[in-house]
Structure 1
Amino acid sequence: MTAQLEAPARTRGGGGLAGGLATMVIGAASSQFGAAVGAHAFGSIGPAGVVAVRQMVAAAVLIPVGRPPLHRFRWPQWWPTILLGLVFATMNLSLYIAADRVGLGLAVTLEFLGPLSVALAGSRTGRDLVCAFGAAAGVYVLVLPQGGSDWYGIGSGLLAAVCWASYILLNRLLGRRLPGLQAPAAATTVSVLLYLPVLAWLIGSGRMTGAGLLFATGAGVFSSVIPYAVDLIALRRVPPRFFGVVMSVHPVFAALAGLVLLGQALHPHEWLGILIVVAVNAFAVTPPRRTKIDQDLSGTA
C-alpha cells in the first residue's frame, strides 16, 4: 500500500472494528442496490443523465450537512478536492457505461481492480506477485476475451477501476485535511458543476421524464450520499487493510443486485471470475501470519 493509506486508523479496538464493519457492509450493499436502480433510467436519460441527477442529489444532501467553507479553503485542500470531484464525475459515468454494455456484475468486478491495485501498490513481495497474477487470471476467466467481446464496455470498467483507486487515495488524504463530511460535500459540488450542461440539455430536450428522474434520484441517495459518507467515516475508524478486505463484497453485491433487480443472470465462468477476484483481494489485503521465529526475532530487536 502507499504511505498515505498506511496511516493509522483512529479507532483500532474491537468496538471500532465492529462498527466499521457494519458501516462498510451497509455502504457496499447500498452502493450496488443504487447502481441497479439507476440502470432503470438508462432508456430515458442515459448513463450521463443518471450521473448528473445522482450528483445533484448528493450535493443537495451533503452540502447542508457538511457545510464546506469553500471560501476558506487553501490550495492544499483545494487541489485534492478538485481532483476528487473529477474522479466522482468520471468514475460514476464509466461504471454506468460499463454496466449498460456488459452487465453490472462484470462492470463492478472490473472496477474492483482499483482497490486491489491500491492494496498491492509499492510492494514487491512474492505474495503480492501471486496476487497480481491471480487477479489477472480472475479477470480473464470473467471476461473470456473473444472477437465479439464488448471492449468498449470492458475499457469503461477498467477506467472506473482507475477512478476508484484514486477515490480511495484522495478520500483518505482529504479525511485528514477536512473535518466531518466537508470533503465529499465539496468534491460533489465540483462534480455537479461539470454536469450542469448535461442537466440543461436533458431538461431542454424534454428527456427528463418522471420515471427517469425518480430512478436517478434513488441512485443518487443509495449510490452517492450513503456510500460517500460511510466510506469517509469507515476510513477514519478501521485499518486500511481491513477496509480493503470488506470492500471485497462489492462485486458479489453487484452480481446479486444485477440478478434480482435487472435480470442479468451470470454464466458460471463469470461467477467463477468474480469469486477469484474477490478471493485474491481478500488474500492481498490480509497481513500474513507471523511465525513464532519472526515474533521472537522482533521481540529481541
Structure 2
Amino acid sequence: MPNTYMMAVVYMILSMVSYQISASIAKHLMEQLDPISVTLLRMFFAAIIVCIMFRSWKIIPQLKTLKWRYLLIYSLSLGLMNILFYLSLGRLPQGIAVGLEFLGPLGLAFLSIKKRSDFIWVMLTIIGIALMVPWTQLNSLKFSFVGAACSLGAGLCWAFYIYYGQRVIKLNIGMHALSIALVISTLLLLPVTIFQHSPIFTHPEFWLSGIIIAVLATAIPYTLDLLALKQLSSISYGTLSSLSPVLAALSGLVFLNEFLSLTQWFSLLLIMIAAIGVTLNEKNS
C-alpha cells in the first residue's frame, strides 16, 4: 500500500479521535449554553486559529478570481453540519447521534460503489449502525426524534461536505479553502446569536472552552480531512468514516459515562470490520 494512502488513513483516524473528544467537551458546555452558541464559539475561534496557521490573508487578492459556487456550498454544508450535529448532541447520547449522522457519508458511499466487495462492506456498516440504536428501548431512553432528525440532517450536510470538499481541492488554494469556509460560517451564525442575546459575548469564561473545542473539533480534524481527501476516494472516505460512531461511543463512555449494551458493542465490531475491509480492498485495487 502506498505510503500516501496509509498517511491519508492515519489523518482520518486522528481527525475522528480529535473530533469526538471535542464533542464530549461541547456536550458538557451545553449544560450552560445553547447548541448554537457553542457552535459559534467553536467556529469563531477556529476561523482565527486556521487563518493564522495558514496565513490566509495571502488569499485576499485571489478572491475575485475564485469559482465561488463550490466554495459557497462547501462552506454552507460545513456550517449547517455543525449546527445540526450540536442540536442533536444536546438531545441524544453521543454514540447514537454520530451513528445516525454517519448515514450521510454512507449514502454517498452507496452512490460511489463500483465493485461488489465494496457493497459488502457498506452493507456490513449499515447493519452495525442499525444495531447501535436501541430500538426496543426508545421510550425508556426518552429517545428524541427531533434530535434524530437533526442528526440525519447533519449527515446529509456531511455528505455535501465530502463531495464538494473534493471539488474545492481542485481550486488549488490549499488550506485557504478551510479558512474561507470557517469565516463564512461564522459570519452567518453571528446575527443569530446576537438576536438570542447569547451570554458568550459578555462572559469571557466560556472563551477558553471555545478555543479548546475549536482546536479539537475544527482546526485539527478539518485540516486533516482536506489532506486525506487528496488521496481517498468517496467510497474509502465514506466507509472509513464508519469508525466515527465507534470513537464517539468510546468518548461518551470515558467523558460522559454513557454506557453501551452488548448488542451495541457488537455493532461497533461490525463497523470496525467494515472499515478494515474497505482499507484492504483499496490496497488491492
- TM-score, structure 2 normalization: 0.84
* Per-residue CA distance 1:25-55 (angstroms, 9 max, x = gap): 2222111111111111112221111110111
Aligned equivalent of 2:157: 163
Pairwise CA distance, 1:217: 2.3
Pairwise CA distance, 1:165: 1.1
Aligned equivalent of 1:235: 229
Structure 2 residue ranges without an equivalent (≥5): none
Aligned equivalent of 1:6: none
* Per-residue CA distance 1:182-214 (angstroms, 9 max, x = gap): 111111111011111234246x45465444333
- The more displaced of 267-276 and 215-224 is 267-276
Structure 1 residue ranges without an equivalent (≥5): 1-11, 296-301
In structure 2, relative to structure 1, the CA distance for the partners of 1:242 and 1:30 (3 Å cut) is same
Given that 1:103 and 1:264 are in contact with CA atoms closer than 8 Å, whether structure 2 keeps it comes out as yes
Pairwise CA distance, 1:245: 5.2
Aligned equivalent of 2:12: 24
Given that 1:114 and 1:165 are in contact with CA atoms closer than 8 Å, whether structure 2 keeps it comes out as yes
| 1:254 aligned residue (242, 245, 248) | 248
Matches within 5 A, 1:144-155: 144-145=134-135, 148=139, 149-155=143-149
In structure 2, relative to structure 1, the CA distance for the partners of 1:67 and 1:286 (3 Å cut) is farther
1:118 alignment partner AA: L
In structure 2, relative to structure 1, the CA distance for the partners of 1:39 and 1:272 (3 Å cut) is same
Secondary structure class of the residue paired with 2:192: helix
Aligned equivalent of 2:91: 101
| 1:49 aligned residue (27, 34, 37) | 37
Aligned equivalent of 1:111: 101
Give the share of equivalent positions with the same residue, in percent: 26
For residues 64 and 111 of structure 2, the distance between their equivalents in structure 1, rounded to whole angstroms, comes to 29
1:63 corresponds to 2:51: yes
Aligned equivalent of 2:209: 215
Given that 2:108 and 2:159 are in contact with CA atoms closer than 8 Å, whether structure 1 keeps it comes out as yes
Pairwise CA distance, 1:254: 1.2
1:34 corresponds to 2:28: no
Backbone CA RMSD of aligned residues: 2.9
Pairwise CA distance, 1:118: 2.0
Given that 1:116 and 1:281 are in contact with CA atoms closer than 8 Å, whether structure 2 keeps it comes out as no
Matches within 5 A, 1:177-196: 177-196=171-190
Secondary structure class of the residue paired with 1:179: coil
Pairwise CA distance, 1:181: 0.7
Pairwise CA distance, 1:114: 2.3
Pairwise CA distance, 1:276: 3.1
Given that 1:70 and 1:186 are in contact with CA atoms closer than 8 Å, whether structure 2 keeps it comes out as no
- TM-score, structure 1 normalization: 0.80
1:13 corresponds to 2:2: yes
Pairwise CA distance, 1:242: 4.7
In structure 2, relative to structure 1, the CA distance for the partners of 1:24 and 1:130 (3 Å cut) is closer
